[in-house]
Amino acid sequence: MPNIILSDTSARISELKKNPMGTVGSGKGYPVAILHRNQPAFYCIPAELCERMLDALDDQELARLVTERRDQALHDADLNQ
């Protein structure tokens, strides 16, 4: 059964074991598909890309909350209490 590989770069698990940082670096900042028996097992991404992805997901969640609450009435609050 064919699988879609969602990255331009792929590597075998044995390559990842031999040189983890080199394998991640081969993606040049983008995900690297790690293959097991020529099937994608997982994607390896650099920490910087992971942080950007998590920030984007947080932004999407905040945008959803703003949209959901935009018609709610505003209430004054005393932060000292």
| pLDDT tens for each residue of 2-43 | 889 999 999 999 999 999 999 999 999 999 999 999 999 999
Taking only the tens place, the pLDDT of each residue in 72-81 is 998 889 889 8
Judge whether residue 1 has pLDDT over 80: no
CA–CA separation, 33 and 11 (whole Å): 6
CATH, range 9-69: 3.40.1620
Tokens of 39: 């099937």
> DSSP assignment, residue 30?
S
How far apart are the C-alpha atoms of 24 and 44, rounded to whole Å? 7
Residue 19: what pLDDT? 97
Provide the CB-side half-sphere exposure for 72 (13 A, CA).
Answer: 9
3-state secondary structure of 70: coil
CB 9 within 8 A of CB 32: yes
